[in-house]
Amino acid sequence: MNKKTIKDVEIGGKRVFIRVDFNVPIKGGEILDDTRILGALPTIRYAVEKGAKVILASHLGRPLKDKKKAEEKGQPYDASKYSLQPVYDHLLKTGGFKIAFAEDCIGEAASDKAAELNDGEVLLLENLRLHAGEEKNDPEFAKQLASLADVYVNDAFGTAHRAHASTEGITHYIDHCVAGLLMEKELNFLGKALNAPDRPFVAILGGAKVSDKIPVIESLIKRNVDKLLIGGAMAYTFFKAQGFTIGRSLVEDDMMSKALEIEQMAKDAGVELLLPTDHQVVDSFDPLNSRKTIPIDFTNAGLVGLDIGVETAAIFEKALEGAKTIVWNGPMGMFEEKPFDEGTVAIAKAVAAATDAGATSIVGGGDSVSAVNQAGVQDRISHISTGGGATLEFLAGDELPGVAALDDR
């Protein structure tokens, strides 16, 4: 990685603004999954140990967008559900450092609390996206954020693909802008996989739409991934393009020609492209009682494919044997509805087994990460990426604004 990190600058006694990703699921004031909070702790604790005055900033949800929708529909809008207060309460109990909370991220509410910080203390600012200036990357809003700090640290890889005020704009007004420890880890793992992977290199892509993954697929093929495994609903676009009957399965008709191009591109590059051979289906007229597993070419007009079958899971598992680098993004089926999580969980276990055998594995995307956790193999994965769209854009070879804005070594 060619970017400076928090370890490359002097932070003792200085005000250090750390952009974290605390966009976590909250229900009834309770945090349902603190994975992202845990991921940020090493950087926060490092800054605390070095005697910095630490200022944390994050977004949570899309409050202004949801407020507009509620107003248009004449529905009540509850702004409190977008407060980072529950995150503060969580850090108060589990962080292991002294922390305060500011009821805004700019203005006196923020500046007064920041001025009260002693060395080694932490302040959490209120949700950045309560201000329109954040997503608009408004210079004045960015200046107000920058006024709180001497050093800027971006540790929120999941938002690095957005040129927002707290990820890109702020860097124009602070002299030292560096990566946090989590950001460094993300860039090192993903960068090696993209630019210098140990081989064989196997990529597994799933999810609903081919269109969402086209840049990643093309990038991986151009960089000569050895095997490309495609599952999830996106596989049906390939099947329909090949002339298979796919019933009422999800398909992107306007992407069929692109699917054929991708297949030819893989063939020309010597990339082994594997699609499912069987799938779990239901009859669209009796979805609750008609689940069965059939070969792809047995699909008739009334069926809907919702998960890969056991044969496909076994083929994909076999394809992972001997792999040295594995990247996985996207579920193999309608993971959120049991029992159609079975294929995705099977892949999670197969990736873990390949990691045990010596592969470096990188898993990204919400459903893929959930599958790894559900299968109980999260500790057997080399790196679980905190990025969704950021991971995809990085693997597609795109420059991420939040990374490009940081100081080079």
- Please identify every residue annotated as catalytic: 36, 209, 366, 389
Between CA 279 and CA 255 the distance in angstroms is 21
The bridge status of strand 227-230 relative to strand 201-205 is parallel
Between CA 238 and CA 241 the distance in angstroms is 5
Helix (H, G, I), strand (E, B) or coil at 324: coil
The bridge status of strand 303-308 relative to strand 278-283 is antiparallel
Structure letter (DSSP) for residue 5: B
Query: How many other C-beta atoms are found inside a 10 Å radius of the C-beta of residue 134?
Result: 25
Helix (H, G, I), strand (E, B) or coil at 203: strand
Helix (H, G, I), strand (E, B) or coil at 248: coil
> Residue 34 burial by CB count (10 A; 0-12/13-18/19+): exposed, middle or buried?
middle
Select from 366, 303, 105, 305 the least CA-distant residue to 113. Answer: 105
Residue 170 near residue 140 (C-beta atoms within 8 A): no
Residue 112 near residue 119 (C-beta atoms within 8 A): no
- Is there a cis peptide before residue 339, judged by omega within 30 degrees of 0? yes
Helix (H, G, I), strand (E, B) or coil at 74: coil
